[in-house]
Amino acid sequence: MGNGESKWLIAIVCVLCVLSLSQLMNTCAIDRLERQVIRVARALEAQSGGGGRMRSPVATGAAGAAAANQPGASTGIEVTGWGGRKAEILHVEGAVPNPPFLLADKPKPQNDTYVNRRISPPGSLNTYATNESDTDQIAKNVLGGLVMSDPDRPSEVQPALATRWEVSEDKLKYTYHLRKGAQFADGRPFTAADVLFSFAVVRDPEVNAEHLRSKFDDVEEMLAPDPQTVVVKYRRRYWKGLYSVGYNLRILNKGWYEEQLPKWAERLGITEHAIEPGKPGFGKVFNKISVPCPGTGPYYFAADRYLPETFVELVQNPFYYGIQVKPDWYNFSRLRWVFIADAVAAFEEFRKQRFDITVVDKNSWDDEYSKDPTITSIANYYQYDHTGLGYSYIQWNCRHAPFDDARVRRAMTHLTNRQWILDEVERGGGTVAAFPWKRIYATYSNDIAPLAFDIEAARALLAEAGWKDSDGDGVLDRDGKRFELELKVGSTRRFFQQVGAVLKDACDKVGIRMTLRTLEWSTFIQDFYERRFDAACLYASPEDPWMDNYDEYHSSQDVPRGGNSGGWHHGRADELLEAMRVEFDADKRAEMAHDFNRIFAAEQPQTLLLHTLVSVLQHKRIRDGKVRPSGLQFFDVWVDPQDVLYK
């Protein structure tokens, strides 16, 4: 050991002695002293090959210590992140007093793997290039945003990658001040350049980001006056302006893409490419990158490629700013998603404790799971509503006959026995849906009843639209064309199968020939994106607590992969959706929403099915789980070391 290192160690011992004496004078702070001692001991131990390594002596003296602890300054502790990249952890702005720097120093055990069962794997993990809800949920653990929704008061925002923000008096300029010391999972520092890069990716017309692009339609300009500040200028007022960029723009790692895009281009055999969004060839390669970049979130995707036939696994990010800011959050060493389509197989796998959490149909819980002593001994059952729950629906393709006629669409809603589906399939766990908002919001028209199941009313509407059995073969026809309908579903889940069976039975009675076609999710979503469907059965989840239906129903969003999947066009509805976006008064916005709802009820661009409660099973070894307004979250749960299943 060199003379310099010896002096440094002696200095640290002296500091510990002083701390010990001060702590003896204040016995209430013993726990904090122990954490300080443990951190220093680990740093010393790391010099001989541990998980972190002290790279340089800590500055001495009051001024030196203050400078060393400034946000953005190095802690001197080196760790390994994505791709084996090593870097020093930085001091983070907004850290708690005496924060932990290493994952091992966090107050709760950092162990085990949280395993989530889903039905079908998404086609890609690139949330910018696909509109799949599972991809979005996975990406939220990897890619951070400037602000986050408060899990206990979802309509309120909390700092995330931005610590504070200002809104100009005219509501046209939003200034975000970025968190100093935040890093990506490969150790790169996060700066305003990454925010501007992410925005440029969304704006690149070659990138398959139509589902995101409209959120930023009114953004005129985004600037970075310095590395820690982002200014967003709008061309017109937008009541969701703060949330639109702050919450919905997931921040990409500019340096990673500049490094990796040429490698992916070579792997894919693409000769013309660029590393700058908007340049020819950038989007062609970007869309093919099926893995998420190492982000600023609590986890990262470690594999170099995504294999949908296996599972998705994320690893804890040792550079995550939340280790210092929210040390109690994110206590699993890994997150894993497994994909089991068959309900019987999922039942058996859960009994064997192969995954921790799954959504179950209410009737499956009542009839099977609740009666199995193994399952009731290892799992807790929850049924609840939350801000992320939307509605199930049938999307009609309004671009061509017969669903270009509102009378036909209303007839199809009359043929869908939604009350029976609610009572028998969901066992009363929800309500029949009428409008594309949550019932608890002021924008929902609870005074307008959903269209009732009524076969005779459907018959009359179809006849009015010119559909009659002119040749006596039992099938409706018009202008020599039979009324034939294919309903596509992308899931084997019992709910969708039973919806299809109920609708088919009613269609048979009025002379419509309907077939139900169940597809693999990847095939289904591709057909849906490319508008190759008559009707499709899906579930819609609000992407944030501040609902704005412009993306889903405005005519301008009827573009490939755009939000207006059904291709519904209505001039007055467009006007209302536009007016709502610029109205900051919530009561006035609600009045316009009720006008929109009346149009929606008459037009039926979709047959909304149910607002359901969600039924969830979660393993009992998960400690401190609770249902919040935002749902059953996992960020603050943990596992006792004696209960670890996946080592």
Helix (H, G, I), strand (E, B) or coil at 478: strand
- pLDDT exceeds cutoff 80 at 550: yes
- pLDDT exceeds cutoff 60 at 34: no
For the entire predicted model, the pTM comes to 0.83
Question: Does 316 or 155 have the greater pLDDT score?
Answer: 316
- pLDDT averaged over the chain? 89
Q: What is the pLDDT of residue 307?
A: 94
Percent residues over pLDDT 70 in the chain: 89
For residue range 331-345, what is the model confidence (pLDDT) as tens digits?
Answer: 999 999 999 988 899
Separation between Cα atoms, residue 437 and residue 443, nearest integer Å:
7
According to CATH, the superfamily of the domain at 395-430+447-539+552-607 is: Dipeptide-binding Protein; Domain 3 (3.10.105.10)
Res. 480 pLDDT band, cuts 50 70 90: very high
Name the architecture of domain 131-286.
Alpha-Beta Complex (3.90)
Q: What is the pLDDT of residue 494?
A: 81
- pLDDT exceeds cutoff 70 at 54: no
Separation between Cα atoms, residue 102 and residue 84, nearest integer Å:
16
Res. 69 pLDDT band, cuts 50 70 90: confident
Q: Residue 638's beta-bridge partner residues?
A: 623
Cα distances (Å, whole numbers) of residue 515 to 75, 459, 512, 523:
63, 19, 10, 17
Separation between Cα atoms, residue 111 and residue 25, nearest integer Å:
35
- CATH 3.90.76.10 domain range(s) in the chain: 131-286
Q: What is the pLDDT of residue 67?
A: 62
Q: Which two tokens stand for residue 437?
A: 């908002």
Helix (H, G, I), strand (E, B) or coil at 457: helix
For residue range 395-408, what is the model confidence (pLDDT) as tens digits?
Answer: 999 999 999 999 99
Instruction: Write out the E strands in 356-475.
Output: 357-359, 379-384, 391-396, 430-432
Locate tokens 């080592």: which residue?
Answer: 647
Q: Which two tokens stand for residue 227?
A: 């590395």
Q: Are 273 and 115 in contact (CB under 8 A)?
A: no
Lowest mean pLDDT, pick from 33-42, 301-310, 446-455, 493-502: 33-42
Q: Kindly report the number of other CB atoms within 10 A of residue 395's CB atom.
A: 23
Helix axes 406-414, 586-603, angle to 10 degrees: 90
Q: Which ranges of 338-454 would DSSP assign to H, the alpha helix?
A: 343-351, 362-367, 373-378, 406-414, 418-420
- CATH 3.10.105.10 domain range(s) in the chain: 395-430+447-539+552-607
Q: What is the pLDDT of residue 44?
A: 37
Buried-exposed string 577-607: b where 16+ CB fall within 10 A, e elsewhere: beebbebeeeeebbebbbbbbebbbebbbbb
Q: What is the pLDDT of residue 49?
A: 35
Res. 155 pLDDT band, cuts 50 70 90: confident
Q: What is the pLDDT of residue 66?
A: 54
- pLDDT exceeds cutoff 90 at 389: no
Mean pLDDT in residue range 534-562 = 91
